[in-house]
């Protein structure tokens, strides 16, 4: 199962991707003008903008990020790594020449002008959809750092991974050691997270690997769900391998080597074969900024099942046990930010709906372990707060709360606090 389903392409769509035109049962040869145009623009330069046929069978605007010569073919036979300008970078991919509409090739134009034109052409609904997937999590990077990050990570180095019973398409670049530079696919042991180049290596490894769950302590078990706490200092290789794996699905900066200072919380689905990782979050052992979460990821095969919301809720339950308020480390990934907004909204609306009388932001923070700034920004986005006579006043009209709750959707899996057996790291020491 891949991370993105590929819809079947009809034969009609395939036919339309062919450059030659059909006349009855005969294929009309390319005109001299067409051949001349092809010769003049091929191979396409990096930076070229062109329309590309995507997996939905439709043409979408792309920018050429990189190109590579094909082993078989003529001097102009290249594959092109393209970025779909309407979508998040996770959909960037290598495409063949026949997927590109060469009649639509554009010369490079000023990007600010082009973005303005694109914005004018989009409907409000399209723009909202794109905005939702373009919160890249680079808010704290200056322009130079962002350019350097995008240049270094512009091409995905690993196309797919095998993890347990799933084959997963990757989303982003991850800085695996140089000896893996020529690998398009990696095979992971789903228990210790060691990775290999070949299936046979994985099979040999699985015969010797005696782990059936992540290393570390099981701190939560409810039904078939388990949570394990892994200390990065005690399980350094596991922590580093987890970071390599996670970076394939996270575009923002993450830790690769310095895992000693972190705790990893691995969420698993358990069956008779063992405990299979579905996602995780990490947190610093000691955070000066009150961060209760550093990185968060639900693996693609397990997304849209409520696990992301569960991981966020779990991080706040740990904060409550520590008698602290918490907030996620910035910058957040795009999906992480959307998940947090949803979580804060549901938790706060639920309390406001049940609470009788006035309640302050400080009281909400004490009840939920959510930082006051996150509560304030959430209530402001919902237009549930006003500034009167030098202080913030929460306006909790029941009908408005119901409307927002309906829009927020369901809350996902509940954390059964009675099943959490955990001692804060400071007390463990």
- What residues contact residue 18 under an 8 Å CB cut-off, 6+ apart? 98
> Is 139 designated active site?
no
CA-to-CA dists, residue 140 to 57, 120, 143, 331, angstroms: 37, 27, 10, 6
Q: Give the separation between CA 50 and CA 299, rounded to whole angstroms.
A: 32
Q: How would you class 75 by CB atoms within 10 Å of its CB: exposed for 0-12, middle for 13-18, buried for 19 or more? A: exposed
Q: Give the separation between CA 134 and CA 52, rounded to whole angstroms.
A: 20
Q: How would you class 62 by CB atoms within 10 Å of its CB: exposed for 0-12, middle for 13-18, buried for 19 or more? A: buried
Pull the structure tokens for residue 400.
Answer: 């408005």
Q: Report the 10 Å Cβ neighbour count for 204.
A: 12
Contact 220, 420 (CB under 8 A): yes
3-class SS of residue 81:
strand
DSSP character for 250?
Answer: -
Mark 160-179 as b/e (b = at least 16 C-beta within 10 Å).
Answer: bbbbbebebbbbbbbebeee
The H or E element that residue 425 is part of is: helix 425-428
Mode of pairing for the β-strands spanning 327-328 and 291-293: parallel
Candidate list 111, 329, 383, 427, residue with the active-site label: 329
Q: How would you class 80 by CB atoms within 10 Å of its CB: exposed for 0-12, middle for 13-18, buried for 19 or more? A: buried
Catalytic residues: 329
């Amino acid at each position: 199962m891949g991370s993105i389903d590929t819809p079947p392409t009809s034969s009609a769509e395939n036919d339309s991707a062919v450059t030659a035109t059909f006349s009855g049962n005969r294929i009309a040869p390319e005109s001299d003008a067409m051949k001349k145009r092809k010769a003049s623009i091929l191979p396409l330069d990096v930076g070229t903008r062109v329309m590309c046929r995507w997996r939905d069978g439709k043409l979408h605007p792309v920018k050429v990020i990189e190109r590579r010569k094909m082993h078989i073919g003529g001097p102009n036979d290249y594959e092109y790594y393209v970025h779909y300008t309407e979508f998040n970078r996770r959909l960037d991919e290598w495409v063949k020449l026949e997927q590109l509409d060469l009649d639509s090739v554009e010369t490079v134009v000023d990007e600010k002008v082009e973005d303005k034109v694109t914005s004018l052409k989009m409907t409000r609904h399209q723009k909202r959809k794109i905005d939702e997937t373009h919160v890249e999590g680079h808010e704290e990077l200056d322009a130079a750092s962002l350019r350097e990050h995008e240049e270094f990570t512009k091409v995905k180095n690993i196309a797919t991974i095998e993890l347990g019973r799933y084959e997963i398409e990757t989303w982003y670049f991850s800085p695996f050691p140089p000896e893996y530079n020529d690998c398009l696919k990696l095979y992971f042991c789903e228990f210790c997270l060691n990775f290999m180049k070949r299936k046979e290596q994985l099979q040999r490894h699985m015969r010797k690997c005696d782990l059936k769950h992540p290393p570390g302590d099981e701190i939560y078990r409810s039904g078939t769900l388990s949570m394990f706490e892994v200390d990065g200092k005690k399980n350094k290789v596991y922590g580093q391998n987890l970071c390599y794996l996670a970076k394939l699905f996270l575009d923002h900066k993450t830790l690769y080597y310095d895992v000693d200072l972190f705790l990893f919380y691995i969420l698993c689905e358990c069956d008779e074969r063992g405990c299979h990782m579905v996602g995780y979050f990490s947190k610093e052992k000691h955070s000066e900024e009150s961060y209760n979460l550093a990185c968060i990821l639900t693996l693609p095969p397990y997304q849209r099942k409520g696990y992301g919301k569960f991981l966020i809720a779990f991080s706040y339950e740990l904060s409550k046990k520590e008698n602290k308020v918490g907030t996620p480390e910035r910058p957040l990934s795009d999906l992480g930010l959307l998940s947090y907004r949803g979580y804060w909204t549901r938790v706060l609306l639920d309390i406001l709906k049940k609470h009788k009388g006035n309640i302050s932001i400080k009281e909400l923070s004490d009840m939920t372990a959510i930082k006051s700034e996150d509560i304030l920004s959430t209530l402001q986005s919902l237009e549930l707060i006003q500034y009167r006579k030098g202080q913030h006043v929460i306006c909790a009209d029941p009908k408005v709360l119901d409307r927002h709750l309906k829009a927020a959707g369901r809350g996902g899996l509940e954390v059964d606090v009675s099943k959490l057996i955990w001692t804060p790291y400071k007390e463990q020491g």
